[in-house]
Amino acid sequence: MCRWVAYRGQPVLLSSVITEPSHSLIHQSLHALEAKTETNGDGFGVGWYGEHHEPGLYKELRPAWGDENLSHLARQIRSKLFFAHIRAATGTATSRANCHPFSHGRFMFMHNGQIGGWSRLRRSIEAMIPDELYNDRQGTTDSEAIFLAALAQHAAKDPAGAMGRVLSEIVRLMQAAGITQALRFAAVMADGRDIWAFRWSTDLKSPTLYWKQIDGALIVVSEPLDESPGNWRMVPEGNMLMALGDSAPVIKPFMVEMPRAVA
Amino acid sequence: MCRWVAYRGQPVLLSSVITEPSHSLIHQSLHALEAKTETNGDGFGVGWYGEHHEPGLYKELRPAWGDENLSHLARQIRSKLFFAHIRAATGTATSRANCHPFSHGRFMFMHNGQIGGWSRLRRSIEAMIPDELYNDRQGTTDSEAIFLAALAQHAAKDPAGAMGRVLSEIVRLMQAAGITQALRFAAVMADGRDIWAFRWSTDLKSPTLYWKQIDGALIVVSEPLDESPGNWRMVPEGNMLMALGDSAPVIKPFMVEMPRAVA
Amino acid sequence: MCRWVAYRGQPVLLSSVITEPSHSLIHQSLHALEAKTETNGDGFGVGWYGEHHEPGLYKELRPAWGDENLSHLARQIRSKLFFAHIRAATGTATSRANCHPFSHGRFMFMHNGQIGGWSRLRRSIEAMIPDELYNDRQGTTDSEAIFLAALAQHAAKDPAGAMGRVLSEIVRLMQAAGITQALRFAAVMADGRDIWAFRWSTDLKSPTLYWKQIDGALIVVSEPLDESPGNWRMVPEGNMLMALGDSAPVIKPFMVEMPRAVA
Amino acid sequence: MCRWVAYRGQPVLLSSVITEPSHSLIHQSLHALEAKTETNGDGFGVGWYGEHHEPGLYKELRPAWGDENLSHLARQIRSKLFFAHIRAATGTATSRANCHPFSHGRFMFMHNGQIGGWSRLRRSIEAMIPDELYNDRQGTTDSEAIFLAALAQHAAKDPAGAMGRVLSEIVRLMQAAGITQALRFAAVMADGRDIWAFRWSTDLKSPTLYWKQIDGALIVVSEPLDESPGNWRMVPEGNMLMALGDSAPVIKPFMVEMPRAVA
């Protein structure tokens, strides 16, 4: 499974969240002992809002812990809203274009999970992306396809509704194709000001999603970054976290209309 | 423009064609002075038939001339049929998945040229690839799409017919979309035994395509590899080279049915 | 710690040892759960004797398990003697030049271990490399320095003696610098025909070194590659394995003269 | 030859100098037609002073023009003093560690030129670097060695004197080794506030070095960045440019004591 962290708060150096804490994202990817899965080494990415209205992205395939470029960038880039993601590939190629986060205009997205039967459904899920967005598709992941499809569903105006419609349609396609594997989804999206994080699955086994507030900042993670997990709150299965403007984060149900199973 | 070479003959080390000649492919990419276009440095690839019935591929994004891995492989790998390609990207991303040659089963393909309006037509041209091949699409180039579409048109049985049908359909899509830019195409395909090379365009400005026979071997190139261009024969515009089994290469017209222009 | 495998026997595809077995080197690097240390993801390398009297090398920084080039090469390259190594960096940079195996002329070398106080001793240990070899130093690792120093000690004629003299001198330098950390050393060297593997340390905590013979082939590894460790024999602390020509491997003491400690 | 640019002035986005101008560094590396030498594609680097008292560095081996990371960083990083360098390797390996600029503490350095007979002199020139700096040597270039040697000669207090002593000693070593090739040197160094640029050679064929002031900013380049070369002033052979604090740049002789030739 992938691991990631999202930060929103007073502008801080990326290093304070990504590389420095004893259980930073880098540390996690290196010592992924607690996890029962593979280590996370299929590329990583960092996205941040800074000098430009569109987020900056830095992606690399060598392991994050040995990348001097990342060390330098983490202690030079200060941002009030940034994402970092370490990828564990699930069948698709290891390439920069397949690394998270993905961006489009001012939007940024990253994801942990899987679409059951992706290799069979790729074509029909990509068909959910309209022509004007399709040419921006750079890689071959399900994650990027979900993101572009959500943008087409007006994620800019109604992120939760758009994401719910996309997942609902994907489940419909899975059912139509007779796929019995699950769809599991934990993701976070931002527009430079607001953050939305989602946790949902068809088998109630969503990837984990935690958050905490500290010194006025919001941190959303796939797994706790430090050893006091008591401070981290879990977003429950089937819920979402919404942090608009300077408001406190709100947890509320994330509605995905389940299509009636094909008889 | 891209540069490439294809070899078929007695098994030789790749180095004898790729790295050693004074005008080898590597040399060309480094001293691309004669060419009026950009230098070729957006990744390269080598494909060869050897121990496995499917070709081996080696692709890399750093420049070919500085890649020690390539130096080693070129003097260790002996093959009777191999391709090498240095890419000049035309708008699509620089990634291994976008480097030529492409392979599928025992087939291998590489290409130099462009589809006018590719960014607008990508979606509809990809629709020419059936589901069972679509999931093998790794990158975002027009070249890979043409290759997979040709395989779907039974390139295994009738390479020239398949490629002609694909180009004809692409021209039809271009016309339907009102695209006035040209389609220019020079490509080579192999199946481990036979080689087919094609040269065609809508504006009679196809990329160049040369060949020669030397010591019983056939060499097909985008541009002459050595300083005696008199030895190289050009495949004329709208023609193809076909080298079946041990037979001598045959040059013959490459038929692409031009759709009637939309009135 | 690094992990590696060396093979000598009937020519086989690299894949049969590197990528295919259930506990292949690739598998080990991905699921490094048994190991109490970091996962192995700071680059890898493969070296093989084939068409050229000097070994071929392929090195890469992205993780071995996600490298399509390695997958292709492993099923295309057949060799009677090859090395593969997955690196866990111990302070030096992640670069191709720091990946094992190292080669010089017909010799090839790879290593697992550490020189206590390397960063303080680097200069004086490099001084053990004569000028005519020093210019071939490509990276900054202790491993490459040991290899070049051993070649200077006539490793071509007397590998065990040369390696013993180098380690003895390093221990002397460590003592002179007042370094109390250990020197731990497990390494393997080959010349295209013979293999020598060494296991030695100043604190009797050498990295592990195993071997087995199967179907007439010799396999030497840092850690057992499959689940029947009973078949693997350990080279005892302070011993070496020597496999000359077609002879059966011989285990015998590896003599390193310990300098008298500085009073 | 390498190409580079140094900027000092009002904080600007790197993109305004590196990627955007019609004759930006990126453009130069892609269309290096005017240059009679090889194109510049053996890695590149960017160094800038920003959030940290030490400069940030970003280095990469794929061509600058196809690197999305660089595009993102260039439009996100704003700096009042930065360097960018595109490398043409002269015999040493293509690796990040060999890419310019180099940094140590608050100092940053980049270089264009060559030391005649470097492969024979490497050892003795490296001996000019004291132990406490030697361990920071990451690569194998002459450029990095000159930089570290200059720091050892108190470049922090007297940059011109230190650099002059280093070059003088190198010429002495060249003479002692009977090397008849030239030393050619054009370089720039900064400490986050001041800039020093040097142009010197043993055969009066120094690489070019230009500068101009525009809108209160100082730009120093290996070759003019735009088509009005009249605005660019050349630093004459054997001279240096010194820009201290907010003072206007001063051009003055760069003194390198020539050792008396060995009789």
C-alpha–C-alpha distance, residues B188 and B147, integer Å? 10
pLDDT band at B62 (very low <50, low <70, confident <90, very high): confident
Q: Averaged over A173-202, what is the pLDDT? A: 97
3-class DSSP assignment, residue C221:
strand
Strand ranges, E, within chain D? 3-13, 44-48, 56-60, 78-86, 102-104, 107-115, 183-190, 195-201, 210-214, 217-221, 233-234, 239-243, 250-253
Token readout for D153 is 């000669």
Is the confidence at residue D23, as pLDDT, over 90?
A: no
In this predicted structure, what is the pLDDT of residue C139?
92
In this predicted structure, what is the pLDDT of residue C37?
47
Lowest-confidence segment of B18-27, D81-90, D102-111, D188-197 by average pLDDT: B18-27
DSSP string, B169-189: HHHHHHHHTT--SPEEEEEEE
In this predicted structure, what is the pLDDT of residue D37?
47
Provide the pairing of β-strand B217-221 with B3-13. antiparallel
Burial grade of B172 (CB within 10 A; 0-12, 13-18, 19 or more): middle
Does C97 contact D at CB distance below 8 Å?
A: yes
Chain segment B199-235, per-residue pLDDT in tens: 999 999 999 999 999 888 999 999 887 766 668 999 9
Is the confidence at residue C34, as pLDDT, over 60?
A: no
C-alpha–C-alpha distance, residues C204 and C207, integer Å? 9
pLDDT band at A34 (very low <50, low <70, confident <90, very high): very low
Q: Is-cis flag, bond preceding B101, omega within 30?
A: yes
Chain segment C147-190, per-residue pLDDT in tens: 999 999 998 999 999 999 999 999 999 999 999 999 999 999 99
Contact C204, C237 (CB under 8 A): yes
Q: Averaged over D64-81, what is the pLDDT? A: 93
Token readout for C245 is 């020509």
C-alpha–C-alpha distance, residues B245 and B242, integer Å? 10
Q: Å from A68 to nearest chain B CA?
A: 18
Interface test with C, best of A2, A29, A33 (most C CBs within 10 A): A33
**SS3 track for D192-250:** CCCEEEEEEECCCCCCCCEEEEECCEEEEECCCCCCCHHHCEECCCCEEEEECCCCCCE
> Which of A137, A129, A67, A53 minimizes the C-alpha distance to A102?
A137
Chain segment D210-233, per-residue pLDDT in tens: 999 988 899 999 988 776 666 899
Contact A91, A38 (CB under 8 A): no
> Which of C205, C226, C201, C206 minimizes the C-alpha distance to C214?
C226
Backbone angles phi, psi at A20, to 5 degrees: -85, -45
CA quadruple C30, C31, C35, C37: dihedral sign? positive
CA quadruple D127, D130, D136, D142: dihedral sign? negative
Does B11 contact C at CB distance below 8 Å?
A: no
Q: Averaged over C216-245, what is the pLDDT? A: 88
Does A53 contact D at CB distance below 8 Å?
A: no
> Which of C230, C235, C222 minimizes the C-alpha distance to C29?
C222
pLDDT band at D77 (very low <50, low <70, confident <90, very high): very high
Residue C54 CB contacts under 8 Å (≥ 6 apart), including other chains: C103, C105, C106
CA angle A186, A188, A192 (to 5 degrees): 180
Token readout for B9 is 């003959």
Q: Which residues of A touch B137 (CB under 8 A)?
A: 140
Q: Is-cis flag, bond preceding C101, omega within 30?
A: yes
In this predicted structure, what is the pLDDT of residue C30?
58
pLDDT band at C127 (very low <50, low <70, confident <90, very high): very high
Provide the pairing of β-strand D102-104 with D78-86. unpaired
Q: Averaged over D33-52, what is the pLDDT? A: 74
Q: Which residue from D minimizes the CA distance to B43?
A: D62
Token readout for C230 is 């009973």
Q: Which residues of B touch C75 (CB under 8 A)?
A: 51-52, 56
Is the confidence at residue D25, as pLDDT, over 90?
A: no
Q: Å from B168 to nearest chain A CA?
A: 22
Q: What percent of chain D has pLDDT over 70?
A: 89
Q: Which residue from C minimizes the CA distance to B48?
A: C76
In this predicted structure, what is the pLDDT of residue C65?
81
Contact between chains at C69 and B58 (C-beta distance less than 8 A): yes
In this predicted structure, what is the pLDDT of residue A229?
61
Of D50, D58, D76, the CB nearest to A69: D58
C-alpha–C-alpha distance, residues A222 and D39, integer Å? 45
Does D68 contact A at CB distance below 8 Å?
A: yes
Contact A86, A2 (CB under 8 A): yes
Token pair 């292949």: residue = C24
Chain segment A193-240, per-residue pLDDT in tens: 999 999 999 999 999 999 999 888 999 999 887 766 668 999 999 999
Contact C86, C64 (CB under 8 A): yes
Token pair 């430090």: residue = A226
Q: Which residue from B minimizes the CA distance to C46?
A: B69
Q: Which residues of B touch A139 (CB under 8 A)?
A: 140
In this predicted structure, what is the pLDDT of residue D94?
84
C-alpha–C-alpha distance, residues D20 and D32, integer Å? 16
3-class DSSP assignment, residue C203:
coil
The count of CB pairs under 8 A between chains A and D is: 53
Does B12 contact D at CB distance below 8 Å?
A: no
Interface test with C, best of D99, D138, D141, D148 (most C CBs within 10 A): D138
Contact B80, B11 (CB under 8 A): yes
> Which of C56, C153, C186, C42 minimizes the C-alpha distance to C108?
C56
Does B95 contact A at CB distance below 8 Å?
A: yes
Does A228 contact D at CB distance below 8 Å?
A: no
Token readout for A96 is 């920069």
CA angle C170, C175, C181 (to 5 degrees): 85
| Higher-confidence position of B163 and B20 | B163
Token readout for D53 is 């008292």
Burial grade of A52 (CB within 10 A; 0-12, 13-18, 19 or more): middle
pLDDT band at C41 (very low <50, low <70, confident <90, very high): confident
In this predicted structure, what is the pLDDT of residue B110?
97
A3-253: CATH number: 3.60.20.10
Report the amino acid identity of residue A87. Answer: R
Query: What is the residue extent of each domain of chain D?
Result: 3-253
Is the confidence at residue D259, as pLDDT, over 70?
A: yes
C-alpha–C-alpha distance, residues D254 and C31, integer Å? 58
> Which of D57, D110, D50, D46 minimizes the C-alpha distance to D84?
D46
Is the confidence at residue A39, as pLDDT, over 80?
A: no
On average, the pLDDT of chain C sits at: 89
Interface test with D, best of B34, B37, B38, B96 (most D CBs within 10 A): B38
Q: Which residue from B minimizes the CA distance to A120?
A: B135
What is the DSSP code (8-state) at residue A78? E
3-class DSSP assignment, residue D119:
helix
Of C30, C63, C93, the CB nearest to A63: C63
The secondary structure element, H or E, covering residue D159 is helix D159-176
Q: Å from D68 to nearest chain C CA?
A: 18
Burial grade of D85 (CB within 10 A; 0-12, 13-18, 19 or more): buried
Contact between chains at D73 and A73 (C-beta distance less than 8 A): yes
pLDDT band at A28 (very low <50, low <70, confident <90, very high): low
pLDDT band at B33 (very low <50, low <70, confident <90, very high): very low
3-class DSSP assignment, residue D85:
strand
Does B76 contact C at CB distance below 8 Å?
A: yes
Q: Which residues of A touch B134 (CB under 8 A)?
A: 122-123
Token pair 């078929």: residue = B8
Q: Which residues of B touch D92 (CB under 8 A)?
A: none
DSSP string, C27-67: HHHH-TTSSSS----S-EEEEE-SSSSSPEEEEESS-GGG-
Contact between chains at D76 and A72 (C-beta distance less than 8 A): no
Chain segment D142-199, per-residue pLDDT in tens: 999 999 999 999 988 999 999 999 999 999 999 999 999 999 999 999 999 999 999 9
Token readout for D61 is 């081996």
Lowest-confidence segment of C92-96, C184-188, D257-261 by average pLDDT: D257-261
C-alpha–C-alpha distance, residues C107 and C192, integer Å? 7
CA distances from A84 to A177, D69, D90 (A): 34, 15, 37
Of D32, D39, D62, the CB nearest to B61: D62
Contact B155, B162 (CB under 8 A): yes
> Which of C122, C258, C111, C134 minimizes the C-alpha distance to C197?
C111
> Which of A106, A50, A45 minimizes the C-alpha distance to A76?
A50
Of C56, C69, C75, the CB nearest to B52: C75
3-class DSSP assignment, residue B103:
strand
Helix and strand numbers (H, E) in chain B are 7, 13
3-class DSSP assignment, residue A41:
coil
Chain segment A48-100, per-residue pLDDT in tens: 999 999 999 999 998 888 899 999 999 999 999 999 999 887 667 788 999 99
Lowest-confidence segment of C21-30, D72-81, D171-180 by average pLDDT: C21-30
Give the bridge partners for B84, in sequence order: B5, B46
Neighbour count for residue A154 (Cβ, 10 Å):
12
Contact between chains at B58 and C73 (C-beta distance less than 8 A): yes
